[in-house]
Amino acid sequence: MSFKVVIEHLEPCLNQWLLTEYKYVSDLFRERLIFTNVKKENHKAILSKLGQIISQSVIEYLKDLPEVIVLDPKASEPLKRQDLTNAKYVIIGGIMGDHPPKGRTWKFITSRLRNAISRNIGPYQFTIAGTAYILKQIERGLDLKDIRYVYGLKIEKKLSNEIIIEIELPYAFPLDEHNNIVLPENYIDIVYRYTTTYESRMLQTTNNYMDEYC
């Protein structure tokens, strides 16, 4: 029987950037995806279209169960295909990564699930979508060492002849078999819109933002 993929929803707000990450995982694992720690009704309504919804945190939901894997950048051992053979649940932290990383997966999940084992997928911090892609490739039989990736993604948008907006994402991104960076649909445009909108919000006093559900 295939393992379930669990995303512990840890961000206080849902925005288009986070949703495109979640949707990518849903497209990969479909009915095998569970969202835990979903307490807000508007979040439940949105995420129920992508997977099963659990109000409890993953700590409560899986606390007494064996055969649970937490994908954690701080784990000492890399994920192997044989780890997945008997696994019933694989947990991905629903966290928009910090730079430098703050170890939130370990703090909020790994350290509190005593029966789980933790595994990393490399020395760098991946996005939620990138983590799911690597998990899927290992499930299909690839070794982690054979999955290529790049570190850092630069987004450039030309606003005029004189103005170019440049955004750098300090995460690792897997490459597919054609050496293309694996990204969710419309990812570049969504990240650009979110980042530039976020910057403008810092100059405002209102918290009522479109496309963000808190």
Q: What percent of the chain has pLDDT over 70?
A: 91
Q: Which residues contact 64 (CB under 8 A, 6 or more apart)?
A: 115
Q: Return the structure tokens found at 133.
A: 């892609």
Residue that has been written with the tokens 């669990």 in this structure: 6
Between CA 90 and CA 135 the distance in angstroms is: 9
Tell me the C-alpha distance between 205 and 152, whole Å. 32
**Tokens for 4?**
């379930």
148 pLDDT above the threshold of 60: yes
On whether the 4-147 domain is CATH 3.40.50.300, my answer is no
What's the distance, CA 163 to chain centroid?
Answer: 32
To 10 degrees, the CA torsion angle through 152, 136, 94, 61?
Answer: -160
Taking only the tens place, the pLDDT of each residue in 158-201 is 777 777 888 899 999 999 999 999 999 999 999 988 877 654 44
- What pLDDT was estimated at residue 157? 79
Average pLDDT, integer, range 8-14? 93
Quote the pLDDT of residue 205: 47
Nearest-10 Cα torsion for 113, 116, 121, 124: 20
> Domain-by-domain residue ranges, the chain?
4-147
* pLDDT at res. 102: 79
Residue-level pLDDT at 200: 47
Which pLDDT value is given to residue 208? 45
- Average pLDDT over every residue of 23-52: 97
Rounded to a whole number of angstroms, the distance between the first and last alpha carbons of the chain is 36
Look up the pTM and report it: 0.90
> Chain-wide mean pLDDT for the chain?
90
Average pLDDT over residues 127-142: 98
pLDDT at 146: 97
At residue 50 the predicted structure's pLDDT band, cuts being 50, 70 and 90, is very high
The answer, yes or no, to whether residue 18 has pLDDT greater than 70, is yes
Give me the mean pLDDT over the 51-72 stretch.
96
| pLDDT at position 8 | 97
Going by pLDDT thresholds of 50, 70 and 90, the confidence category of residue 156 is confident
Distance CA 112, CA 63 (A): 8
